[in-house]
Structure 1
Amino acid sequence: MKVLIVKLSALGDVVQSLPVAMAIRRQLPEAQIDWLVERPSAGLLQDHPALDRVLVSPRHEMSEAQGLPLSPLTGFGRALRSVRYDAVLDLQGLMKSAICVALSRGERKIGWRGGKEPLAALAYNHKLAPFDPDRPALERYLDMLEPLGLERPAKIEFGLSPRPEELAAARSLLPWPDDGRPMVILHPMAKWDSKLWPLASWVELAKLLGAQGVRLVVSGSRDDRNIGRLIARHSELGEGLLDLTGRTGLKELAALLTLADAVVCTDTGVMHLAAALGTKVAALFGPTAPWRTGPSGAGHEILRAGLDCSPCFERFCGDAQCMIQISPDQAAQAALRLVSGR
């Protein structure tokens, strides 16, 4: 069997979709499994044990090019149509993914009826019933196995395990000796403005954890470097806090998450990546619902203010009390519980 999985973005969604690829690989070890993804998340899928080929959408390349960049689109179209698939699974369910499904060569094109962009279903010749949005996203993605005649896995596997050289490279970034002192990663950013926790709260959290002898790493992308510098400067922890914003790719970040004793983060892709790697997280939830998009597995700490307006699923909020009212002390205590548990 030849299967194409279409899950373009974002990082958390891609991570939560990996159990679908792993389940197919376990039950059909000789299958060809390809994955279509966008550039920001592509690095995580390279050399993944369940995948034979990773196709990268040219959307970002085209948006950055000047003029009319036809060559990336032409090359992508040839690669996409170079294989006749037995099944194409659209785990995104949006128009941008449905267009790719429509362009692909597949006997069965499988996706959900309805959803955020109902017109996407026009690309499918096998339509699943509209899903319940309050079901965990990972469970919804596994519904795609049924049309393939496959069973839902008894054990959820993500297939993410940093290689020894990646772990060694991650350790080389850390300035501290391996003396058993705990290390916690702080990931302060999120794509939604409404998910952000106040900078002052991150600084106070760093001070509280640093006072308990916890070593801290701030993670983030190049766009997050200013936030990382501010947390490092105002927490006044010196060598007790390492700012790695903008200094790691996805593979390096995955290795660092594996080395950490716990992660404190917003509801974002790094939360899902850490949980998939087996690292416990203290996750700050405000406008979104942990029962929908919470970290996979048991033993995590979910922090919410419990306001009546939460979750609202709004990307922007002029007040954001649902995040503001989560105190640094609550987050510090949650992180310390995770550290002591490990």
Structure 2
Amino acid sequence: MANSAKRILVVGPSWVGDMVMAQSLFMTLKDRHPGAILGVIAPAWSQPILERMPEVDEVLPLAVGHGEFGLASRRELAIRLRGRFDRAIVLPRSWKAALVPFMARIPERVGFLGEHRYGLLKERRKLDKQVLDQTVKRFVSLGLPLDEAMRGDFAIPQPRLTIDRNNLVNLRLTHALSSRPAIGMMPGAEYGPAKQWPISYFHELAARLIKDGFEVRVMGGAKDHAAGESIVAGLSHAHNLCGKTQLADAVDLLADCHQVVTNDSGLMHVAAAVGARIHALYGSSTPVYTPPLTDNAVIHYLGLSCSPCFKRVCPLGHTNCLNELSVEQVYQAVKRHIS
């Protein structure tokens, strides 16, 4: 690192979707600082996603569980980073997220005000939620000069993950996937059931699409396996891959899908970042705040008077924001976009 390239460290977020959206910041930094070296502190699970981002030069896994303080792990990482970076951008607004850059003695440290981080950050920015009305805007703004960031009219590059074609071939063989055009389905949402379209609706939609000649691939984590079994029950050309693939595998499998039907989830953002046509189903959240970052998306959102509530479970007990989003509506939208 003897050259004059700026050495930038980003403390990344803790959720799949947020990490994908953070690529917009990484792309902005590389564009604004040609030749810069970019390192990202992130949970170990996110390494396969970050390795699909050509802008990231180094992944620095932090062995701390979600919600865990992990002072010893943070201190150990900070010691290893001393003298290696000139500027740190802290995306999470928690106090503990700012600890590593502070203990690493990185000269420039920027982030939003939050959780009394006054001594930990050199540049503390006030978050204007009216101007920075999307998660991705907030991320990108921290990589820009303050005056430009506060105008809110800056460009947002769309995330674009690289695809491993050899891995895709192996996955198709391993899981006995057919030559039919594939439709991906993601029934999970880590946040809670108020963001999950009914499983019976996914099953009915899958049955109709299989009858039309498609293969259905249900994707998600191990927690989604039971839901996947319900969706594929009694259906040919339907594969429950929940818990059977790694995160990097999901990148390649989604890139191979003609269209994807998904809740507002981390995998929705992965699908958007590989160019799949997205049918995004919104319930308690809103596409205004966390839209799929692609021009190739169809938004399904009823916008009821009680929406968005941003609750994990419907506070009114009916979840009409999703229950009233019919299979017919989504099916017709998928049909309209069949090439």
Same fold (TM over 0.5): yes
Instruction: Report how far residue 105 of structure 1 moved.
Output: 2.4
User: Which residue is equivalent to 1:332?
Assistant: 331
In the alignment, what sits opposite 2:27?
22
Deviation at 1:305, TM superposition (A): 2.5
Residues 49 and 159 in structure 1, CA contact (< 8 A), matched pair in contact too: no
Return 314-323 or 93-102, whichever deviates more: 93-102
Secondary structure of the 2:26 match is: helix
Q: State yes or no: 1:145 paired with 2:150.
A: no
**Residue 291 of structure 1 pairs with residue 288 of structure 2:** yes
1:136-191 Cα offsets, whole Å, 9 max, x none, are 2222221122239999985725341112322323333453443xx42100100001
Of 202-211 and 53-62, the range deviating more from structure 2:
53-62
Alignment of 1:53-72 (within 5 A): 53-60=58-65, 72=73
Q: Deviations over 1:194-230 (max 9, x none)?
A: 1112221121111121222221000011222121122
- Please report how far the alpha carbon of residue 123 of structure 1 lies from its aligned counterpart in structure 2 after TM superposition: 2.4
Deviations 1:59-112 (A, max 9, x none): 12996xxxxx98755543433x33442211012222332233433321111112
Where do 5+ consecutive residues of structure 2 fail to align? 1-5
Provide closer, same or farther for how the CA distance between residues 132 and 150 of structure 1 changes in structure 2, counting only shifts above 3 A: closer
CA distance in 2, matches of 1:106, 1:145: 16
- Identify the residue that residue 183 of structure 2 maps to in structure 1: 184
Counterpart amino acid of 2:161? L
| Closer, same or farther: CA 122–323 of 1 in aligned 2, 3 Å | farther
Q: Could you say if the C-alpha distance between residues 177 and 188 of structure 1 is closer, same or farther in structure 2, counting changes exceeding 3 Å? A: closer
Aligned to 2:254: 257
- 1:310 equivalent in alignment to 2:307: yes
Go from structure 1 to structure 2 and tell me whether the alpha carbon gap of 1:83 and 1:237 turns closer, same or farther (over 3 Å shift).
farther
Secondary structure (helix, strand or coil) at the match of 2:106 reads strand
> Which range moves more in the overlay, 268-277 or 137-146?
137-146
Residue identity matched to 1:281: I
Other-structure match for 1:93: 93
- Residue 16 of structure 2 aligns with which residue? 11
Q: Secondary structure at the match of 1:323?
A: helix
Alignment partners' CA distance in 2, 1:252 and 1:83 = 36
5 Å-filtered alignment, 1:137-286, equals: 137-147=135-145, 156-178=157-179, 181-193=180-192, 194-233=194-233, 236-238=234-236, 240-286=237-283
After superposition, the Cα gap between the structure-2 partners of 1:48 and 1:192, relative to the gap in structure 1 and judged at 3 Å, is closer
- Matched-pair contact (CA < 8 Å) for 1:16–1:138: yes
Residue 66 of structure 1: aligned partner: none
Distance 1:124 1:50 in 2: 25
Where does residue 3 of structure 2 map in the other structure?
A: none
Q: How many positions carry a matched residue from both structures?
A: 327
Report if aligned partners of 2:78, 2:100 keep a CA contact under 8 Å in 1.
Answer: no
Please tell me whether the aligned partners of residues 159 and 293 of structure 2 are also in contact (alpha carbons under 8 angstroms).
Answer: no
Unaligned runs of 5+ in 1: 64-68
TM-score scaled to structure 1, two decimals?
0.86
Any conservation in 1 of the 2:99–2:120 contact (CA below 8 Å)? yes
Question: What do the CA deviations read for 1:244-290 (whole angstroms, capped 9, x no partner)?
Answer: 11111111110001100011111011111111111111111011110
Tell me by how many angstroms 1:121 deviates.
5.2
Q: Secondary structure at the match of 1:109?
A: strand
Aligned-pair identity in percent equals: 27
Decide whether the 8 Å contact of 2:178 with 2:215 is kept in 1: no
2-structure distance, mates of 1:101, 1:27 = 22
Q: Aligned AA for 1:332?
A: Y
Please give the alpha-carbon distance, in whole angstroms, between the structure 2 residues aligned to 1:97 and 1:23: 22
- 1:262 maps to a residue whose letter is Q
SS in 1 for 2:23: helix
For the Cα contact (< 8 Å) 1:24–1:150, is it kept in 2? no
Equivalent in the alignment of 1:44 = 49
Tell whether the 8 Å contact from 2:43 to 2:61 is kept in structure 1 after alignment.
yes
Structure 1 residues 87-96 or 273-282, which shifts more?
Answer: 87-96
The whole-number CA distance in structure 2 between the counterparts of 1:337 and 1:105 is 55
| Residue identity opposite 1:168 in structure 2 | V
**Does structure 1 retain, via aligned residues, the 8 Å contact 2:52–2:162?**
no
C-alpha distance after superposition, 1:108-147 (max 9, x if no partner): 111123xxx4424552211223132672222222112223
The CA RMSD over aligned residues, in Å, is 2.7
Higher helix content, 1 or 2: 1
Change (3 A) 1:120 1:231: farther
